Amino acid sequence: MRTIPGCCIFAFMALLMLAMPASSVVQVAVGVTVSFAPPDLPVYEQPLCPGEGYIWTPGFWAWDEDYDDYYWVPGTWVLAPEVGFLWTPAYWGWGGSGFVFYEGYWAFGVVGFYGGIDYGYGYFGRGYEGGRWDNDHFFYNRAVNNVNVTVIHNVYNTTVINERNVTRVSYNGGNGGINARPSPQEEAAVHARHFPPAPPQRQHAQLARSNPQLRASVNHGKPAIAATPKPAAFNERGVVPAREAGALHHPAGNAERGNSGRGNPAPMNAPSENNNRRANAGHPNELPPVERPAPPNTGNPRQDQKYQRQQEKLYAQQEKDRQKLQQQQEREHQQLTRQNADQARRQQVEQRHQQQTEQMQQRHSQQQQHLQERQPQPRSAAPPKEKH
């Protein structure tokens, strides 16, 4: 597998699917890698379920080789191809030299591995908590799905406790990615009966690809069409915009466009991407990764190891602080959604979140500075001995 900035993904996928039987093991890696990570997942509300038999398929970032750019494929409700089938979402994973795309698929009675990605609405990284098949009918978990019970009566209510760290990272492995591996059950799932994405899903993805507003370089991680009530229903009632952007991950040497090698270089004295993200971050997961200095090399191994342990302890605590604040803010967002809070209330909470994030970042910067002030200095070279 070779690392290239972009290639004919959809042509390759079409050929791949034509060469495969309709029912087979299909979560395969598309034969291309992208040199930089996809954006984080945007935050959006789930549209109302349109009717019985529809199963939620979460939105994801796909790659357009024509523009060397990621684009958002909106989440949508899709009719299951057959009774008993469940959806395993697509995901991106680190392949050693770049990020590899694994296409989603339908499988009978099971949900396979999807990178540990927390897509929400029942897809919390492992399996599916949004519903289940029972006697040829799909029953919806109202705790995680937007369902009108006057129209759909096959419902239940089971609260899902998501014990994983709340994160919007959209890829597995690599620098900053989700650290998850398939369980034995998920590995066994690939041997179940499978179907590739249904034709309406293909049309949905192609329509997303042709919409310039869904490119990451245009929407900056906050697509105006984040989710739709049905596939390809981009202009119908019920379309939902993103309410929070997902952070972008640009390749080295490119400041604006999410491409690999064709973007304009950053102008002299332009603020770096990390500085921009730090200044505009409203939540901890929008901050740039903590920059770790190189290990000290003073010539005193014992002293260097002691200082490095202090560094690791500080960064571990700071990462814990970020996760704790992110979880707190996510709970407040969920509370606002349950209360159907108005725009003024939401804006007030966002301003408080930004202030909390800035205060935490300032505190962390001060802690790092104090630690650096205690960094051991290299040993002075011994003066040469005089010759007699």
Between 192 and 9, the more confident residue is 192
Same domain, 180 and 310: no
198 lies in the same domain as 316: no
Nearest to 328 by CA among 284, 277, 279: 284
Which of 228, 251, 275 represents a domain boundary (last residue)?
228
How many structural domains does the chain have? 2
Q: Are 141 and 64 in contact (CB under 8 A)?
A: no
Same domain, 118 and 208: yes
Residue 275 lies in a domain: no
Q: Are residues 184 and 43 in the same domain?
A: yes
- Say whether pLDDT at 166 is over 60: yes
Does residue 265 sit within a domain? no
323 domain residue, yes or no: yes
d(CA 35, CA 57): 26
| 279 domain residue, yes or no | no
DSSP alpha helices (H): ranges in the chain? 9-18, 184-189, 199-209, 216-219, 273-280, 301-339, 343-373
Identify the bridge partners of residue 72 per DSSP, sorted by sequence position: 61
pLDDT score at 162: 63
pLDDT, average across residues 237-255: 82
Identify whether residues 224 and 87 lie together within a single domain.
yes
User: What confidence tier does 311 reach under pLDDT thresholds 50, 70, 90?
Assistant: confident
In a domain, 245, yes or no: no
Please, what is the average pLDDT of the chain?
Answer: 80
The answer to whether residue 207 sits within a structural domain is: yes
Same domain flag for 215 and 316: no
How much of the chain exceeds pLDDT 70, in percent?
78
137-146, 175-184, 303-312: least confidently modelled range: 303-312
104 in a domain, yes or no?
yes
Could you list the beta-strand ranges (E) of 153-283: 155-156, 171-172, 194-195, 227-228
Tokens in use for 271?
């603020």
Q: At 49, which amino acid appears?
A: C
Whose structure tokens read 């070779």? 2
Query: 174, 226, 231, 210: which is closest to 64 by C-alpha?
Result: 210
Last residue of a domain, one of 206, 228, 250: 228
- Its domain, for residue 17, covers 9-228
- Look at residue 283 in the predicted model and tell me its pLDDT: 78
Residues 155, 61 share a domain = yes
Task: Name the domain boundary from 210, 228, 246.
Answer: 228
Give dist(CA 225, CA 231) in Å, integer: 12
- Is 239 within a domain? no
What pLDDT, in 10s, does the model give residues 200-230? 999 999 999 999 999 999 999 999 999 999 9
Region 287-310: what's the mean pLDDT? 76
The pLDDT-based confidence of 374 (bands split at 50, 70, 90) is: confident
Q: Please, are residues 124 and 115 in contact by the beta-carbon 8 Å criterion?
A: no
Tell whether the model's pLDDT for residue 329 goes beyond 50.
yes
Residues 107-122 pLDDT 10s: 999 999 999 999 999 9
